[in-house]
Structure 1
């Protein structure tokens, strides 16, 4: 859900801070007040191209920030896969700062590219009204929508198909790898044998290199170790001058002489006795270490050569001994395949044919389910379009079969529509009207409301070219899907505005001889006054106020009735 939009120094907006709510968020205002700047600002934050002249006159930069709250763990995981970590409690902050020379986009404080933020935006928000932002125009999404509509009926089949496709792909790759002539195969066999012998002749043991490194380090530094530990031995007890052992012994004698006069000295004497014992034990251990330490040139040479052998193998076959042994196992398996080339290839061809048959079967079953779902979905969407005053509308799904298997089957699909009597049915992407497209999307969103996982929907041009009964139908549909999605809608129609759960007013004013656009959240009284303006234009009479109040009351009653169903 989009929690907040903050805009600073963008076009006519000096500063705006809008907190959106759940349900239906309506934005209204007089023509030219800057309503389009609001949606434009959101698009700018989400990676749209922008020119430096969008910066408000006299300002050094423009800034847009969007704050989202995500409750869906699947979406959080999708974002994590893009290296986007959520902030506290699933919040995502997208910001874009524009100066005369550059533009910087950040997500949760980390700089991203415009293409990256567009990928992120596709998970969070769906904007309708401007063609370049309508996911519905992307025909690759149509099959996805059909599958969402089919839901559980299709999930199991798709999972089975994905598993079989993975198996099919692996077999095909192995078979492709065996597309070599006999001469090349013999060269490969010889090379595999050389590599396997090279590794096996070393007699590697897992973890051996770490033990050898420890030994080598000790041997290389053996003289330094002996020099330093001999110094320690001198300090403790082997030197001709006073050492630690002597000093502690003298301290024990001194304290023994007086402990009989003061019992409180006994703990100190006990500690000195313990210290004397520790120093004596340490001195013996050091002496034994020195006497046992003897540099063995042959052992050193063995360790050095062994490490050279292992490191040489690491350079050729892997970073660790475990990697080298895995490499050997892979090559051994490949050698066996090449030594039994004909039988292995025959088995692979048989398995590929069997997998292809399985793929065909699963793809056909999947296609049947999709076509059944497509027929039902088409009818549901057609009915929803009729409810939006597309009277003689036709809506169909055109399925085609691709030439290749994929993990998603062999179907391609696109939505086909005719909105006027006598008009040929054609691809939805060829619909020119932004307003029509927004209403079509509204119909589809209504049908798929409980299956669509994009929480925030923005409708910008949904009321273009409509009024009266159609406007009321659109209003009802927006209300219907706002129970399951956050809706943000800019409108100039009172029928739509009256249904608002949260109503914002966008207005233009003069400030220091400059035009400024401001945005305010309206209370119920102010919302009715704004509805009256939309109904009555420049002349607001008591009758218009009464009409606006009744319209708002009817809208709220409609909402209450729907909530109890």
Structure 2
């Protein structure tokens, strides 16, 4: 399967390269345009955030200058500015300190505050001068941000994705431009994988050819136990015209229930009851290899009784060791082999019919087996107990 999947992938890639020449040229033109558009933008990873921050400052520079200048003016330049008023309070504090030296700490703190506010005023004045509006710089930043948005609308939600798109487009363009070289490489790889697949397929075919007769005989053995004493069964292998994920062969199950009748496909001749017993025979033969966890058998007891019924129950009991087996049966011999026994009944309540499912155990199960045997007489109950005891 691995080789088959690999071959299919390579063939699909080869087919894509072999598309119409016009379509290839159109795709190549588009890729070249996309690559050129992105490349001409000279994008740098991480640039977008920096440019947007600079644009935000530049586009708001007028307001920033107004605010910074207003604060600096209030602090130091306006009539009755904060610093001029603090100078007056500083003078008063010094006079107070001459009278009461304990005021010195307040005077020092006041002086430090004046120094800090003076520094703030100078810093804001310098900040306002630095933000002097440059129309050309603002236009350049605005153009850059607009370019980012245009590229993101076309190629990705971020500049990083746009750059990644360009890289992928370049790889695709290179593949198209190097189509002949790529086709040669693919042809060699296809030939190599096909050879590996053929070797694996032939090996599998030999194993199947060896196993099919053994499987057929094993299933025939189980069929005889289940009442098909003179039946024939064959697992017939046929070569496929084309390999599949399962190999070079198909298998047809052929069955003949009666002597003198030719083998025919199972789907064409078996009744529902026969199908159930056939499936039981097949599942019994494949019990060790079958990975299906749940098996359901319906009408498996059609036209079956006595010894064969015991055989049916025994085989399902064996299957139940490795699988979950559900069987719908009317035969007490089959029901007695189950590890769990459920009874389905129908009840009419207020004019409506309801189906009920209940588990029976112990004495109740003995009574149910007896009922299936034909009644709840003492002999039927004893036989039911005997049937159950054989499997407990």
**Fold match by TM threshold 0.5:** yes
The 8 Å contact of residues 497 and 503 in structure 1, kept in 2 or not, is answered as yes
**Counterpart for residue 266 of structure 2:** 428
Q: 1:204 to 1:504 in 2, by over 3 A?
A: same
The 8 Å contact of residues 220 and 233 in structure 2, kept in 1 or not, is answered as yes
Partner SS state of residue 412, structure 1: strand
**Counterpart for residue 328 of structure 1:** 169
More deviation in 466-475 or 374-383? 374-383
Alignment map for 1:299-378 (pairs within 5 Å): 299-319=137-157, 320-338=161-179, 341=180, 343-378=181-216
Q: 1:531 to 1:229 in 2, by over 3 A?
A: farther
| Counterparts of 1:179 and 1:280, CA distance in 2 | 75
Q: Report the number of matched residues.
A: 362
| Counterparts of 1:344 and 1:468, CA distance in 2 | 70
Runs of at least 5 residues in structure 2 that lack an aligned partner in the other structure: 87-92, 94-108
Measured against aligned partners, the alpha-carbon deviations of 1:71-99 in whole angstroms (never above 9, x if no partner) come to xxxxxxxxxxxxxxxxxxxxxxxxxxxxx
**Counterpart for residue 389 of structure 2:** 553
Q: 1:436 to 1:311 in 2, by over 3 A?
A: same
The 8 Å contact of residues 237 and 249 in structure 2, kept in 1 or not, is answered as yes
Partner SS state of residue 309, structure 2: helix
Q: Which has the higher contact order (CA 8 A, sep 6+)?
A: 1
Query: Is 1:203 aligned to 2:39, yes or no?
Result: no
Q: 1:374 to 1:184 in 2, by over 3 A?
A: same
**Counterpart for residue 317 of structure 2:** 479
The 8 Å contact of residues 458 and 489 in structure 1, kept in 2 or not, is answered as yes
| Counterparts of 1:519 and 1:281, CA distance in 2 | 92
Partner SS state of residue 242, structure 2: coil
Query: Is 1:543 aligned to 2:379, yes or no?
Result: yes
Runs of at least 5 residues in structure 1 that lack an aligned partner in the other structure: 1-157, 247-252, 254-271, 557-565
**Counterpart for residue 10 of structure 2:** 170
CA RMSD between the two structures: 4.2
**Counterpart for residue 89 of structure 2:** none
| Counterparts of 2:244 and 2:221, CA distance in 1 | 33
Q: 1:219 to 1:335 in 2, by over 3 A?
A: farther
The 8 Å contact of residues 395 and 418 in structure 1, kept in 2 or not, is answered as yes
Q: 1:433 to 1:289 in 2, by over 3 A?
A: farther
Q: 1:530 to 1:187 in 2, by over 3 A?
A: closer
The 8 Å contact of residues 171 and 351 in structure 1, kept in 2 or not, is answered as no
Structure 1 residue 195: deviation in Å?
A: 4.1
Q: 1:334 to 1:430 in 2, by over 3 A?
A: same
The 8 Å contact of residues 509 and 515 in structure 1, kept in 2 or not, is answered as yes
Measured against aligned partners, the alpha-carbon deviations of 1:187-207 in whole angstroms (never above 9, x if no partner) come to 666555444433333322234
| Counterparts of 1:175 and 1:402, CA distance in 2 | 23
Structure 1 residue 391: deviation in Å?
A: 1.4
TM-score (norm 2): 0.74
Structure 1 residue 456: deviation in Å?
A: 2.8
**Counterpart for residue 51 of structure 2:** 212
Partner SS state of residue 404, structure 1: strand
Measured against aligned partners, the alpha-carbon deviations of 1:455-485 in whole angstroms (never above 9, x if no partner) come to 3332221112211111111100111111222
Larger Rg: 2
Partner SS state of residue 390, structure 2: helix
Structure 1 residue 529: deviation in Å?
A: 0.8
Q: 1:194 to 1:506 in 2, by over 3 A?
A: closer
Measured against aligned partners, the alpha-carbon deviations of 1:306-335 in whole angstroms (never above 9, x if no partner) come to 333344344444552233222332234225
Alignment map for 1:258-277 (pairs within 5 Å): none
Measured against aligned partners, the alpha-carbon deviations of 1:56-114 in whole angstroms (never above 9, x if no partner) come to xxxxxxxxxxxxxxxxxxxxxxxxxxxxxxxxxxxxxxxxxxxxxxxxxxxxxxxxxxx
Q: 1:531 to 1:189 in 2, by over 3 A?
A: closer
Measured against aligned partners, the alpha-carbon deviations of 1:2-34 in whole angstroms (never above 9, x if no partner) come to xxxxxxxxxxxxxxxxxxxxxxxxxxxxxxxxx
